[in-house]
Structure 1
Amino acid sequence: MFANLLPGFRHFRTPFAVGTIVAFEWWVIVGDLIPKPSQAHGFLQRLYSLAEFAGRPLVTAAIGFTLYLVGNAMTLKSWQAMRLVHALSRVLPAPTISAESTGQLLQIVRKAFEKRGASDIAQIRQVVREMQAELIDIRMHLTANHVEVYLEHDRLDSEAEFRFNIAVHLVNVWCVLAVVWSPWFIAGFVLTAILYHDAVIALREANAILVQSVVSGIVTSRVYEREIQRDREYDASADAA
């Protein structure tokens, strides 16, 4: 039962953590402007009265649910994180697909050029890039047919997503704390850099599982099958000629 609940917890923790960070950030900015219960009026006073009537457990649950909703609206998904890494690649080089995984894709793509010849390396690399862009679809195939492999991928992907989001939102927190309290909080960017680096590693490992699934034949790549079919058609036309 715990194994079934674990994936759901992974997908809950990231929005909740993001919502908590955002709430803390705004508390630092406007916390002094929030009146105490004895000073509140209007709607805010009614909220305080409702909280007192409901009790701490219900108030805590309501706050947690609200933080989750706020965080869910501001959470970067793993594919969005990949785009962010690619956008920052000129400043912070960090490939989301390892050289080993890229080499494995190059090796199998060459098999789709056996009849046409594998001399056009630029075309082969283009096919590899298309297969890399197809990894999201590969993940869906794993969900449907290979749950064990998908769960291992999901674990690493969730770790990457969690660390990416914490790193991204901590950037705002350090800036706010540096302005409101002390410039020394800028040192927190070191922690952000470490989280970002760990997130890239986790994302790379998650993508390696998807690549290995294609290479080992667990799932079929639509792009690869297209090139195989083109190779067969080329061979047939060559024989006819």
Structure 2
Amino acid sequence: MLMNLLPGLRELRTPLAVGYVWLVTIWLCAADHLPSRDSATGVFASLYKGIGRLDQAALIAVASFCAYIIGSTVAVKFVRTAPRIKIPAIRAWEPWRTEAPKVSWDARQDLKAYAKSAIHGISFIDARRAPSSILQDRRTGRDEAVFEAMEATLMELDHLRFQLMKASSELFSEHDRHAAEADFRCNIAIALTGLAAGLSYFQTPAFLIILPAAWVLFRRGIARAVECNDLVVQALVAGEISSTVIEARRGTSIPAQPSEE
């Protein structure tokens, strides 16, 4: 029963926590600008009366509901894309960068070997030991079919996730756990950045000290998102799931065998 509740709790955790951070940010930034209970009129007077009629449990429930609504509105999914950062200057300097979801170097090398073994009809071990790098292939034009197959496969990671959910509930549960952690860390980091900006503007610039912690938390969240993509790639290489892109190209570059006379 607990395992059935965990996915729902993961979905609830991120928007609720993010919403609470934004609620605290709004309250701390606007507290000095709100009228007091005695001088409040109109809408603010009605709010004070309504709050006064609620007990502590009801106040927590109302605050949690508001936090969830705010968090659900501003929270962003990071695992579904995890793209490379789009900076025009960097893209002009590094033209080999693509818009495919980001994976680690090891996972990319495994995917390259998997695509090469399928397209060229060689073993995975032989393909993995190939000395040429992805960058050299791209610049010199060698193994262009492998490079294109890799990028197209990475672009269909969302489709592969659905396959993983059907093929292995254990692996998908691990993926879902990492994905929830990645979304949580990244969204909390963004909310903390807003908190630091608001407090530094309305209170004192000393609150900018929160920014380094928020940046570290964001980077760790992106690292978790990359781990999620790596898990899908490893499931593909292990044969748990299959890529329609690579399967369509399987054996297309196998050299013709000389005929025996």
For the aligned pair, the TM-score class normalised by the smaller chain equals 0.7 to 0.9
Tell me, yes or no, if structure 1 residue 27 matches structure 2 residue 27. Answer: yes
- How far residue 24 of structure 1 moved from its aligned partner, in angstroms, is 1.8
- In structure 2, the CA distance between the partners of 1:172 and 1:10, relative to structure 1 (3 Å rule), is same
- Cα distance in structure 2, aligned partners of 1:123 and 1:212: 21
Q: Is the 8 A contact 1:101 1:208 kept in 2?
A: yes
- Cα distance in structure 2, aligned partners of 1:138 and 1:128: 13
- How far residue 44 of structure 1 moved from its aligned partner, in angstroms, is 3.1
Aligned to 2:116: 110
Aligned to 2:165: 143
Secondary structure in 1 aligned to 2:189?
helix
Deviations 1:147-202 (A, max 9, x none): 11111001111111111111122222212222222222222221012102211221
Q: Is the 8 A contact 1:28 1:177 kept in 2?
A: yes
Deviations 1:95-149 (A, max 9, x none): 941111001110111123226xx98323311211111121111112222332111
Aligned to 2:85: 86
Instruction: Note the residue ranges of structure 1 that are not aligned, 5 or more in a row.
Output: none
- Cα distance in structure 1, aligned partners of 2:87 and 2:203: 29
Q: Is the 8 A contact 2:78 2:222 kept in 1?
A: no
Q: Is the 8 A contact 1:15 1:72 kept in 2?
A: yes
1:140 counterpart letter in structure 2: F
Out of 219, 234, 239, the position equivalent to 1:197 is 219
**Number of residue pairs aligned between Structure 1 and Structure 2:** 230
- How far residue 235 of structure 1 moved from its aligned partner, in angstroms, is 8.5
1:14 counterpart letter in structure 2: T
Scaled by the length of structure 1, the TM-score of the pair is: 0.83
Identity %: 26
- Cα distance in structure 1, aligned partners of 2:81 and 2:207: 25
- In structure 2, the CA distance between the partners of 1:132 and 1:222, relative to structure 1 (3 Å rule), is same
- How far residue 80 of structure 1 moved from its aligned partner, in angstroms, is 6.4
- In structure 2, the CA distance between the partners of 1:164 and 1:192, relative to structure 1 (3 Å rule), is same
Aligned to 1:223: 245
| RMSD across aligned positions (CA) | 2.9
Aligned to 1:44: 44
Secondary structure in 2 aligned to 1:231?
coil
Aligned to 2:188: 166
- How far residue 88 of structure 1 moved from its aligned partner, in angstroms, is 6.3
- Cα distance in structure 2, aligned partners of 1:54 and 1:211: 52
Q: Is the 8 A contact 1:171 1:192 kept in 2?
A: yes
Secondary structure in 1 aligned to 2:219?
helix
Instruction: Note the residue ranges of structure 2 that are not aligned, 5 or more in a row.
Output: 92-100, 122-136
Aligned to 2:178: 156
1:231 counterpart letter in structure 2: T
Tell me, yes or no, if structure 1 residue 97 matches structure 2 residue 103. Answer: yes
